[in-house]
Amino acid sequence: MNKIILCCMAGMSTSMLVTKMKKAAVEANIDCEINAVSADQVKSHLEGTTAVLLGPQIRHKLPEIKKLCDEKSVPCDLINMMDYGAMNGKKVLDFALKISKL
């Protein structure tokens, strides 16, 4: 099963995108768990995670979070700004699956 974490400053702005990604996963019959967390919570949620995606508004945190993810061999990248702004759950889900190791 894929376990995807979306990360923003407080874990709030990504919650709507999580809902849309979960809907896209159900429609595509993809088994995954998707959660939104704050940047400060990422480290405690990495166990079993297959991908971490950061909201564009915290791109400055990418080096710090990528280092944490690299220590656990978890792929980490930024969500495309256009897909984030459009709340395109399918595209963001596809991106998370593409960078994950599963």
What is the set of active-site residues? 8
User: Is residue 80 within 8 Å of residue 91, measured between CB atoms?
Assistant: yes
Query: Beta-strand (E) ranges in 1-91?
Result: 2-8, 32-38, 51-54, 76-78
3-state helix, strand, coil in the chain (%, to 5): 50, 20, 30
User: Is residue 4 within 8 Å of residue 21, measured between CB atoms?
Assistant: yes
